[in-house]
Amino acid sequence: MKVNHINSNLIKININEALRYLGYRNNNVDVETYKLLNESIIELQNICEFKYVYRIFEVKNENNIINFENFIKITSNDLAKLFKDCKKSAVIAATIGFEVEKRIKYFNSTNLTKAVIFDACASAYIEALCDYVESEIMEIAAQEDYNTTFRYSPGYGDVPISHQKEILNALNAQKYIGLSSLDSSILVPRKSVTAFIGFNKGNETNNKSCLNCNLYNNCSFTKKGENSYDK
């Protein structure tokens, strides 16, 4: 297990990612939106608390049940397929903290335009933090001569989102990074992610694919003829 709180200058976001969440594709962004984007990014750099915890589990994968040392047990065809040759898995939880949540609420009452833009930038930040954690996990895997699968979260494919609580408990996430979930499995603070990354010996890396996602039929990106992952 490892817990880390990192400095904000280690995390950089891609502004296009935030724009994509707002529905822009390769369109020109108007000046005012651009100004609010920049304001939001500067503000987020000051208030984000980048925190994560992960733990490497031995995994058993039998009859479509993936067992993480009895801490988490998931019944899923999709994850079983992804974890076909995996003997281990990292389980990660990451968050950018409550201050962001509070700011979004504040803008929601004072300036809805800014709220929407700020929210999109915050989403880009948690994604960027996950990328950072993922690269750390890949290094660990490489030291032990493993490849890694892509990041897979509850709610993808047929993995029920209701596993959030087990995952958070297994990582002691509330204690270490202040992350918990509601009955509805919504993570709080909301700009947070939990995910699995499998360790396998195969050469083939599994790419992120939209077809693996249960939002595939109703994704706002695919609806517009665009993909989230198949970039």
Partner 1 sequence: MINKLKEKFLYFDGAMGTMLQKSGLNIGELPEELNILKPEVIYNIHKEYLNAGANIISANTFGANKLKLNNSSYTVEEIIIAGIEVAKKSIDGLENKYVALDIGPTGTLLSPLGTLSFEDAYDIFKEQVIAGVKARADIILIETMTDLYELKAAVLAAKENSNLPVFCTMSFQDNGRTFTGTDIAAFVSVAEGLGVDVIGVNCSLGPKQLQSIVDELIKYSSTPIMVQANAGLPKYNNNITYYDISPEEYSHEINKMANKGVSIFGGCCGTTPEYIKSIIATLDELKPLELTKKHFTTTTSSSKTVFLGDEVKIIGERINPTGKKRLKEALRENNLDYVIREAIAQQDTGSDILDINVGLPDIDEKEMMKKVISEVQSVVSLPLQIDSSNVEVIETAARIYNGKPIINSVNGKKESLEQILPIVKKYGTLVVALTLNEEGIPKTAKKRLEIASNIINTAKSYGISEENILIDPLVLTASAEQENVMETLKAIPLIKKKYNVKIVLGTSNVSFGLPNRKLLNTTYLAMALSLGLDAPITDSTNEALLDVIRSYKVLANQDIDSKDYIRTYGNVTTENTFVTSNSDLKEIIIRGLKDEAKKVSLELLKKYNSIEIINKYMIPALDIVGGKYEQQEIFLPQLIRSAETSKVVFESIKEKLANEGNDFVDNKKILLATVKGDIHDIGKNIVKLILENYGYKIIDLGKDVDIEKIVETIHNENIHLVGLSALMTTTVKNMEYTIKAIKENSPQIKIMVGGAVLTPDYASKIGADYYSKDAREAVNIAKKIFEN
Site residues (vs partner 1, CB under 8 A): 1-5, 22-24, 27, 30, 32-33, 36, 49, 54-56, 69-72, 97-99, 101-102, 104-106, 108-113, 115-117, 119, 140, 143-144, 155, 161-162, 165-166, 169-170, 172, 174-178, 180-186, 188-190, 214-215, 217-218, 220
Q: Nearest approach, Cβ of 68 to partner 1 (angstroms)?
A: 10
Neighbours of 110 (CB within 10 A): 9
Q: Nearest approach, Cβ of 8 to partner 1 (angstroms)?
A: 12
List own/partner pairs for 180-186 with CB under 8 A and 24 or more apart. 185/154, 185/161
Q: Nearest approach, Cβ of 21 to partner 1 (angstroms)?
A: 9
Residue closer to partner 1 by CB (options 129, 170) is: 170
User: Residue 74 in 3-state DSSP?
Assistant: strand
Going by DSSP bridges, is the β-strand pair 72-75/180-181 parallel, antiparallel, or unpaired? unpaired
- 8 A C-beta contact, residue 47 and residue 74: no
Residue closer to partner 1 by CB (options 32, 207) is: 32
Q: What span, in angstroms and rounded, lies between the C-alpha atoms of 198 and 185? A: 23
User: Residue 130 in 3-state DSSP?
Assistant: helix
Residue closer to partner 1 by CB (options 109, 203) is: 109
Residue closer to partner 1 by CB (options 15, 140) is: 140
Short-list 22, 82, 107, CA closest to 206:
82
Q: What span, in angstroms and rounded, lies between the C-alpha atoms of 176 and 86? A: 27
Q: Nearest approach, Cβ of 63 to partner 1 (angstroms)?
A: 19
Q: Nearest approach, Cβ of 164 to partner 1 (angstroms)?
A: 10
Residue closer to partner 1 by CB (options 77, 207) is: 77
Token pair listed for 188: 């709080």
